[in-house]
Amino acid sequence: MQTDSSFTFVLFGGTGDLSMRKILPALYEAHRAGMLEASGKIIAVARHEEDRGGYLQWVNEHVKAHVSKNGIDENAWSSFLERIEYVKLDLGKAEDFVKLRDAMQDLPGTRVFYLATGPSLFVPICRALASVGLNENARIVLEKPLGYDLRSSNAINDAVGEIFAEGQIYRIDHYLGKEPVQNLLALRFGNALFEPLWRREWVESIQITIAEELGVEARGDFYDNTGALRDMVQNHLLQLLSIVAMEPPHSMDSDSVRDEKLRVLRALKPIDPRDIGKVAVRGQYHAGVIRGASVPAYATEPGVKTDSATETFVALKVEIENWRWAGVPFFLRTGKRLADRVAEIVVNFRAVPHSALGSSALRPGANRLVIRLQPNETIRLYCLAKKPGEGMNLSSVHLDLAFDQFFKEGQMEAYQRLLLDVIHGRLALFVRRDEQEAAWKWVEPILNEWAASGKPKPYAAGTWGPAAASAMLAQHDTCWLEEEN
């Protein structure tokens, strides 16, 4: 299906890892599916001394491996490459931005500037674009992390906001583009079955986990100055929490959705620094074994200080102080070098108040909803049923919604959906500035307390993190999902 939205997509950091692994593959998939206006152009920008032919050769070598399991359609790939131009640009040279402006002068439609660069370059790029008049009829996409703390985040937002209006700024969080997250909204607000149960009277607890098997890879310098709380909790996990806990918006327009998310973030119970030891666990991986292979300790990774106190694991107990969720614990967890790669939301419903069918109907977790975001995107509802045979013996069964099996249409990757939303001017799945500020305000007391305290708790690579994370849940008579299984 062709759109009527002409565009020029300018990709800063056009030779970088993010561009090769995510952005260009997503644009190719949209092109192959006929979802991009035929006249739309892509201009890659980088410092490399390349002409267009050299850049296209680079794309051929580095992008094809990251295209979806459907593989490459050579005809579609060839026509996709015809969209791409390349501009060598030095951020310190004003004349290079004049060159970029001239390259865009006769191109129609909306201008999209995607900043797949470090956050230190956001403000210089925006100012340089404005200096040559490229901030008009334009949208700017900012990758995380947006700052190091509330102060630095505000400084970037203030500077970018002087050049682009809030409605032009797209702060991207790719977890919000994942299909199950979108389906969570559909399940909650499109079905009478779930919405009456989605509250403190019927929900015992909620877990949100983003676990990685990988370590810091080649990002040691960056990660050692960031840590898991900034890298994952302040954005991804709190955004998922706000989607899970938000009130029904009056419509699905961008500000209605984001207003409700903001209310959740502002309702997060502030963490008293004196209680951080009870509700927050930080860890750092030591050497261990993952899938039969030995992996090194975090402190020996390239770019990491040998005496580093940076956390690679975080587990938190979070409370929301509003009518719907008062008293319901939300457990958030993320970490590197864990036992498995998984991202999921687990909604544990309360047990029935009385059972004539035996104690199994009263156990926690008998009814739960598991929303798997990765690696396979599924939604699974657990309930109890009678086992075949004599007697009333109950067993856990589940109903599955596996998107790749149920829907004949191919799934859209998160970046593909979000890039199309930018091109079409849809802001609902992007983070508004006041959301970001609320998240930083909540996280900062934890950051400050950890900066003043000792080192993180050790955990062996290939495990599920420090034992303290399990002990925190045990205080609430529950456990992480994989521990129950």
pLDDT for res 1: 35
7-143 under CATH 3.40.1190.10, yes or no: no
pLDDT tens per residue, range 295-342: 999 999 999 999 999 999 999 999 999 999 999 999 999 999 999 999
Specify which residues 256 forms β-bridges with.
none
For the annotated binding site, the residues are 47, 90-91, 144, 174, 178, 212, 231, 336
Active-site residue, 236 included: yes
Mean of all residue pLDDT scores within the chain = 91
CA separation for the pair 12, 114 (Å, rounded): 6
Q: What integer pLDDT is reported at residue 178 of this predicted model?
A: 87
- Binding residue ranges for substrate: 174, 178, 212, 231, 336
Instruction: Read off the pLDDT band of 227 (50, 70, 90).
Output: very high
pTM: 0.92
Point out the annotated binding site for NADP(+): 47, 90-91, 144
At the second CATH level, the architecture of 176-411+430-484 is 2-Layer Sandwich (3.30)
Comparing 3 with 37, the larger pLDDT belongs to 37
Question: What are the domain boundaries of the chain?
Answer: 7-143, 176-411+430-484
Q: How many helices (H) and strands (E) does the chain have?
A: 18, 17
Q: What pLDDT is attached to residue 69?
A: 66
> 468: how many CB neighbours lie within 10 A of its CB?
15
Residue 2 has pLDDT above 60, yes or no: no
Catalytic residue among 48, 66, 236, 398: 236
Which pLDDT belongs to residue 50? 82
Tell me which long-range contacts 115-119 makes (C-beta under 8 A, separation of at least 24): 115/12, 115/13, 115/140, 115/141, 115/142, 115/143, 116/11, 116/12, 116/13, 116/14, 116/16, 116/18, 116/19, 116/23, 116/143, 117/12, 117/13, 117/16, 117/143, 119/143, 119/145, 119/146, 119/147, 119/156
